[in-house]
């Protein structure tokens, strides 16, 4: 026999069943409710003029039946009222999602069920805080890796391709006529590859966001998307946005980038509206397309968008557009600096 179980008696701890535990308190509550109902029924029968013979007479059966029905009905109503919070707690457990903040059950703070609900809400608070912290670390590491890859693409592969282009130009100048056409084709291929490397590096590390700001970065993103996909983009970008942090700007840019990528891959759209405006104490990003739409399936891309939104305390809503297509709305609360 293995000694691991005997050496670690706390490996499978027993659930606490002390006098102060929720299970014990619930037991005594039900016991007292039932006791009160039956005591009241017994008292009513004892003080009433109704009597029960032995054996029971037929005319006494309706009295007993009515008394039993009243006690059972009263007991059911009291139990239903006392246990109603358990139904709300079960519903919350079924729908809870740590990528959507603030889903809680209101409780009065009295009784054992109130303590149970308060404990469950506190557990959700801890889990959401831990998820937010781990997501922040993961996204920071992801952005650092993106910047490293973009830097290597630009500084190493980009420079190597530039050297190849220069060498091809010198070779083309000295090549005989029968090789010029082939060398020109190779030169164009290398030039196209260099352009693609630069575009990938720019997508990985949006230098325009750091250098020129969010509005310029969104304009550049929309222009690149339209040039590559051929989809027309209407831009409604308010240059008078309230000031937000650099992390918030990066989240807005990345979510817009992911949305446009999804549209290019799946939507079969011909028109996209990109809006970024200030509305009632918030900065709101809206991206609407006229594509195929359909049911929203939350894959890795949408989950990543929700994680980024959670990182800055924003709300992300994805649903069908009024006519057809898909609409994405990111709402970032902004605190008035005068407050």
pLDDT in the model for residue 187: 87
Q: What percent of the chain is predicted at pLDDT more than 70?
A: 76
Instruction: Map out the domains of the chain as residue ranges.
Output: 23-96+103-132, 208-339
| Global model pTM greater than 0.75 | no
Predicted confidence (pLDDT) per residue in 144-203, tens digit: 787 788 778 877 888 888 888 888 888 888 888 778 888 888 888 988 888 888 878 777
pLDDT in the model for residue 206: 75
Nearest CA-CA partner of 205 in 162, 263, 152: 152
List the structure tokens of 249.
């700007």
Q: Cα–Cα distances in Å, from 114 out to 22, 29, 80, 94, 110?
A: 10, 13, 15, 19, 5
How far apart CA 197 and CA 200 sit, in angstroms, is 5
Going by the DSSP 8-state scheme, the letter that residue 183 receives in this structure is H
pLDDT in the model for residue 6: 42
Is the separation of the CB atoms in 311 and 135 below 8 Å?
yes
pLDDT in the model for residue 259: 93
∠ CA 151-228-142, rounded to 5°: 35
Is the separation of the CB atoms in 97 and 103 below 8 Å?
yes
Predicted confidence (pLDDT) per residue in 251-269, tens digit: 999 999 999 999 988 888 9
pLDDT in the model for residue 16: 43
**CATH (residue range 208-339):** 3.30.565.10
pLDDT in the model for residue 54: 60
Which residues does the chain have with pLDDT short of 50?
1-23, 337-339
Going by the DSSP 8-state scheme, the letter that residue 60 receives in this structure is G
Q: Give me the helices (H) in 54-110, please.
A: 61-95
Is the separation of the CB atoms in 140 and 308 below 8 Å?
no
How far apart CA 225 and CA 228 sit, in angstroms, is 5
pLDDT in the model for residue 218: 93
pLDDT in the model for residue 39: 73
Could you give the dihedral angle defined by the CA atoms of residues 184, 189, 194 and 196, in that order, rounded to the nearest 10 degrees? Answer: 150
Mean pLDDT rounded to a whole number for the chain: 77
pLDDT in the model for residue 116: 78
């Amino acid at each position: 026999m293995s000694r691991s179980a005997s050496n670690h008696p706390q490996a499978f701890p027993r659930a606490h069943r002390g006098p102060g535990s929720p299970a014990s308190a619930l037991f005594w509550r039900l016991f007292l409710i039932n006791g009160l109902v039956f005591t009241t029924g017994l008292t009513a029968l004892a003080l009433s003029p109704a009597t029960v013979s032995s054996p029971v007479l037929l005319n006494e059966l309706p009295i007993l039946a009515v008394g039993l029905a009243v006690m059972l009905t009263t007991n059911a109503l009291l139990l239903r009222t006392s246990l109603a919070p358990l139904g709300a707690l079960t519903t919350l457990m079924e729908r809870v999602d740590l990528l959507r903040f603030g889903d809680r059950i209101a409780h009065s703070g009295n009784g054992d069920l109130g303590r149970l609900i308060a404990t469950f809400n506190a557990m959700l608070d801890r889990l959401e805080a831990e998820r937010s912290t781990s997501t922040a670390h993961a996204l920071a590491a992801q952005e650092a890796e993106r910047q490293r890859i973009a830097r290597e693409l630009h500084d190493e592969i980009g420079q190597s391709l530039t050297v190849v282009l220069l060498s091809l130009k010198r070779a083309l100048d000295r090549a005989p006529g029968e090789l010029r056409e082939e060398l020109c084709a190779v030169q164009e291929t290398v030039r196209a590859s260099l352009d693609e490397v630069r575009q990938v590096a720019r997508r990985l590390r949006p230098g325009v966001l750091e250098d020129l700001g969010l509005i310029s970065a969104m304009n550049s993103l929309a222009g690149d998307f339209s040039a590559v996909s051929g989809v027309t983009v209407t831009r409604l970008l308010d240059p008078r946005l309230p000031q937000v942090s650099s992390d918030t700007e990066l989240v807005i840019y990345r979510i817009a980038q992911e949305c446009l990528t999804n549209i290019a891959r799946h939507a079969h759209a011909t028109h996209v509206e990109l809006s970024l405006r200030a509305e009632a104490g918030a900065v709101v990003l809206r991206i609407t397309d006229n594509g195929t739409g359909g049911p929203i399936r939350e894959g890795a891309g949408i989950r990543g968008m929700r994680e980024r939104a959670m990182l800055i305390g924003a709300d992300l809503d994805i649903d069908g557009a009024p006519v057809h297509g898909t609409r994405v709305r990111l709402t970032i609360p902004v605190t008035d600096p005068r407050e």
